[in-house]
Structure 1
Amino acid sequence: MLGVSACTSLETTQAPEEVPEIRPGILMGYLPTDAPLDSKVFVPAAPAADSPRQAMDNAIVAKMLPLRDTPRWELATRDARLAFPAAADAFSCALGLPITEEDTPDLYMLLRRTLADLGLATYAAKNAYQRERPFMINGEPICTPEEEKMLRGDGSYPSGHTAIGWGWGLILSELAPGRTEALVARGRAFGESRNVCNVHWRSDIVAGRMAGAAAVARLHTNEQFLAAMAAAREDISRARESGLTPQVDCEAEARALATPL
């Protein structure tokens, strides 16, 4: 899980002893790592260089380049960081609650562990296609220049970040059905941030959603995951009863997300 592991940083909290790490800062998921989803079976082949799909990808990337250094670019930069505790903030506004180890520990752990399951779901196709990323073609900057070397060696198709964001949106909307629209919209935007960052094509993002949805479906066959969902649901109920609110600037996030893409 090269791309996912390399996006963590020293801000990552220490993993609980009972859940081992599969990479520094990345906790083991619920699904067995020796039998990951074979995403190359269910995602379409990566677009050919002269195909209409690639032409559409090129046009969308060109539209995103002027967003550099705007609030939407800044949000995309934050969305690129998969290290906890910061990664949990991405869905806090959409959920209407803080997602922290202190306030919602079971929910926080659920997100930490499913990160691996969702991200790994893309790697069969990533490794098969080894598609070049937009910045490798257009030479334009990316949101996280410190990750450029890693990204050059990690296939673009499908987008692992998108699989994670889309999967989290689906999981959270199941836990908080009254917030479904906001949570799924945030999951969509999380993936679109990869377009804004110039590190993924739109077709990477569409395929990433497929991988994320497939991983969520597979997770629902896992008893440990289902038990974790029940515990996270109780976390959410307690947090709402306590009147807790997000610890991030939700108005600023909403303004950034209102940027037309």
Structure 2
Amino acid sequence: MRKTSFLAGLLLLVLTTTGQAEDAKPFITNADVDLTAILPPPPANDSTITKAELAEVLTLQLTRTPEMEARAKADAEENVWRFSDVMGPKFTKEALPKLDAFFERVVATEGAVVDPAKDVWKRPRPHMLSDLVRPVVKPSTSGSWPSGHTTLGTVMGIVLSDMVPEKRAEIMARAWEYGHNRVVAGIHYPSDIEMGRISGAVIASNLQHNAEFETEYAAAKAELRADLGM
């Protein structure tokens, strides 16, 4: 009986935790920021630009080191904890529950704004146009324009550096690397990254006018700065 009760409790905990992660509510959606009205359409598949970009991806594929590949694989994760290498050992999910919940909503916001635009443009990813491309991360067939990872990395970088301006240079450099690693991974074109950075900046700017964002931002910032001793 005790064993059955323990397993039931464990299952309930897992389901509750999973549900909380899935239920993260975006602060804003594509109804608030329509990227199709802001960004230009992607280059055509047979354009000189796309061919040149595909050559860049293939060149990087030949020159990337095992260390670069490992970094790109790790950056496939979409969460703020990828910034721990510049934030320090105290920057952990366990120590910062308010920050974790806040950035889960930031992650949901990126998807709510970017995914509808991707579905409109449907730019094929590099490996979908050339069999020579060998991604080092799980291949995706969702639209390539703009890069959602880069959009998210840019938003996270801007917001995190606003919380800790003392580390702004390091945080934004890490955000830029996070986006570039999508090209290193062979899953995006360089222009996807450029559009992702623009998208991220636009989203970050719009978030500053959202009351829910401002309230949760203040609490997460206070928690973070206290944890870091700032």
What range is the shorter-chain TM-score in? 0.7 to 0.9
Normalized per residue, the structure richer in helix is 2
* Residue pair 2:30, 2:116 contacting (<8 A) in 1 also: no
Q: Does 1:62 align with 2:58?
A: yes
Percent of aligned pairs with the same amino acid: 29
Deviations 1:144-197 (A, max 9, x none): 23xx3xx12x11111111100111000101000011111111111111111011
Structure 1 gap ranges (5+):
1-10, 243-261
- What are the residue-to-residue correspondences of 1:155-166 with 2, within 5 Å? 155-166=143-154
- What are the residue-to-residue correspondences of 1:41-120 with 2, within 5 Å? 41-67=37-63, 70-82=66-78, 87-120=79-112
- What are the residue-to-residue correspondences of 1:109-188 with 2, within 5 Å? 109-139=101-131, 140-145=133-138, 148=139, 151-152=140-141, 154-188=142-176
Deviation of the 1:234 alpha carbon: 1.1
Q: Look up the SS of the partner of 1:54 in the other structure.
A: helix
Q: Distance in 2 between matches of 1:89 and 1:205?
A: 20
Letter in 1 for 2:87: L
Aligned residue for 1:14? 17
Deviation of the 1:210 alpha carbon: 1.3
Q: Look up the SS of the partner of 1:14 in the other structure.
A: helix
* Residue pair 2:57, 2:183 contacting (<8 A) in 1 also: yes
Q: Distance in 1 between matches of 2:62 and 2:34?
A: 36
Q: Distance in 2 between matches of 1:60 and 1:34?
A: 31
Q: Does 1:28 align with 2:16?
A: no
**Larger CA deviation: 49-58 vs 65-74:** 49-58
Deviations 1:4-56 (A, max 9, x none): xxxxxxx9992575xx735xxxx22222x472521011111101235453244
Letter in 2 for 1:117: T
TM-score by length of 1: 0.75
Q: Distance in 1 between matches of 2:18 and 2:188?
A: 30
Q: Distance in 1 between matches of 2:220 and 2:156?
A: 13
Deviation of the 1:97 alpha carbon: 4.7
Q: 1:141 to 1:227 in 2, by over 3 A?
A: same
TM-score by length of 2: 0.84
What count of residue pairs does the alignment treat as equivalent?
216
Q: Look up the SS of the partner of 1:112 in the other structure.
A: helix
Q: Distance in 2 between matches of 1:166 and 1:53?
A: 24
Aligned residue for 2:225? 237
Cα RMSD over matched residues? Answer: 2.5
Letter in 2 for 1:72: M
Name the larger-Rg structure: 2
* Residue pair 1:97, 1:240 contacting (<8 A) in 2 also: no
Deviation of the 1:67 alpha carbon: 4.7
